[in-house]
Amino acid sequence: MAKGVGSRNRDESALTRTVKSIFGFFRFAEFEILFVLFFVIAFIIFKDLVIYAVLTGIDLKDFNHSLL
């Protein structure tokens, strides 16, 4: 008998089925995961740059005026 779409092989262990379902979810939601990850990394980098500027005494208002 042919295997149907979405059927699971009961000979596989529970761990194998769990890992396959997790990878299936990541394949399904890959774009959304990467989208959120991009913004999280950008926020962390921006936060670190601002904190560095504050700790070193760089006035961000003066920096913005010098660009104009």
pLDDT higher than 90, residue 67: no
Confidence of residue 58 (pLDDT cuts 50, 70, 90): low
Q: H-type helices in 1-68, by residue range?
A: 14-28, 30-56, 60-67
Structure tokens given for 25: 């979810």
Q: Confidence band (pLDDT; 50, 70, 90) for 24? A: very high
Higher pLDDT, 10 or 7: 10
pTM of full prediction above 0.85 = no
Residue 24 vs residues 3, 18, 34: alpha-carbon distances, Å: 18, 10, 15
Give the C-alpha separation, 41 to 54, whole Å: 20
Q: Measured between alpha carbons, how far is 33 from 18 in angstroms, rounded to an integer?
A: 19
